[in-house]
Copies of this chain bind each other. A is one copy, B any other.
């Protein structure tokens, strides 16, 4: 990402952090405050709040309290990570001990509930009924996405269609809502809302596809994690699904055999699997899909005047494709 854009985003992220810190002063329990700070202040990039902020700035100076409304999306994101880590019994996230490891499930489930409630309260206070509806709907879709994922895993019925259906809920719903809430807050038209919804949804989908690709081709020195984790876990990411759909008979049979084998076998066969995926065109196809999504996302911004906000959103979309970590 271009250094100027990076600096702008960093400065704006600091104002979001300040809004959250000010809001958390109202928390009475010292333990709850500690858990919330741990969940919120781990050096995240504040992508979702920044999307609210810049979407709200596309058609003029954003209304007052835009940072408070923006922080709602960091609260919701953090709430979902807190509950996810309890569900997965996760000990580490981004190399740091998880809240559930440090304080146990009770404090963490409740802290997630607190963030959900506080997020709703802030939207009610500053965003109005339509923003409220968008946020509640996004949370419901996130939950439905998780249930769909459980079902697909159980029935071993993964496909490109189910991959996108799950992702629409789990990742894209909240990012799409962040962008749409921003423009609704600024008083945008229906057409402008539709454009921002497309932008945000596509951004979320493309981000995940690139994540899937980095798991096969990333540089561990940059990503901070070893390649091959997804394949070892048998995770049905887009490149793998595309390979299963398009590989020739023998290659597909080999991939299916590996997926039926143990994680240890898959780890040992990772280089081979990567060659099979490459031969099937899966990496190129997945990358092309991400590129199409981002092209569409950027095109949807064309109806807005060429402002700094539009340039930032365009830059962010481009970054999704070029990121190496």
Contacts and interface: CB of A to CB of B under 8 A. Distances in A.
Nearest to A108: B87
Interface stretch (A14-22, A110-118, A221-229, A243-251): A110-118
Nearest to A139: B117
Interface residues of A, number: 43
The oligomer's copy count stands at: 2
A122 B33 CA distance: 29
A121 B124 CA distance: 11
Nearest to A136: B121
A132 interface: yes
A87 B105 contact: yes
Contacts of A106: 87, 146, 150
Contacts of A31: 147, 150-151
Give the dominant DSSP class at A's interface: helix
B121 A140 contact: yes
A124 B129 contact: yes
28 contacts: A27-B144, A28-B148, A29-B144, A29-B147, A31-B147, A31-B150, A31-B151, A32-B144, A86-B105, A87-B110, A106-B150, A107-B150, A109-B109, A111-B143, A113-B142, A116-B116, A116-B139, A117-B139, A117-B140, A117-B143, A118-B136, A120-B132, A120-B135, A121-B132, A124-B129, A124-B133, A124-B136, A125-B129
Closest 6 CB pairs of A and B: A121-B136, A29-B147, A117-B139, A124-B132, A114-B143, A87-B106
